[in-house]
Amino acid sequence: MSYEALTHLHLTTIGISVLLFIIRFGITIAGYPTAKWLNIVPHIINLALIVSGVMLAVTLGLKATEHPWLLSKLILLVAYIVLALLSMKPKFAKPARWGFAVAALLCVYAMANAAITKTVLFGLV
């Protein structure tokens, strides 16, 4: 697969992943049951996102140990996943769930910034 195709796939899956997160969060915070497909499809999209990211790194010869911005993206990805999961848990109060959701989206923003600028934490580190 070409670099351009991988980049397109990666960016598309990012957009779909974030969109599905926002939709799922909206449904769960409103107290409605989530359709079964809406609980399954995001996992498939996120797998495609991770695989395309790994393929891009391999294609470009990037190693997280040599590029701090790439390592920060991986750490932020784990934080995004954990925060997104916490935002869906009804055992937490709604304000906490909103906080988790906003923090998850801030992780996405920080990952995008790291990818574009090749810096860690907005160039602060």
Q: Over the stretch 40-60, which tens digit does the pLDDT of each residue have? A: 999 999 999 999 999 999 999
Mean pLDDT of the chain: 92
Confidence of residue 125 (pLDDT cuts 50, 70, 90): low
Cα gap 99→25, rounded to integer Å:
12
Residues 29, 97 contacting (CB under 8 angstroms): yes
Q: Answer yes or no: is pLDDT of 124 > 80.
A: no
Confidence of residue 1 (pLDDT cuts 50, 70, 90): confident
The residue segments making up the domain with residue 14 are: 3-123
Give tens-digit pLDDT for 79-92: 999 999 999 999 99
Residues 86, 107 contacting (CB under 8 angstroms): no
Q: Answer yes or no: is pLDDT of 122 > 90.
A: no
- Output phi, psi for 116, to 5 deg: -80, -45
If we measure between CA atoms, which residue out of 18, 15, 41, 34 comes closest to residue 89?
34
- 81, 82, 116, 122 from 50: Cα distances, Å: 12, 15, 18, 22
Number of domains in the chain: 1
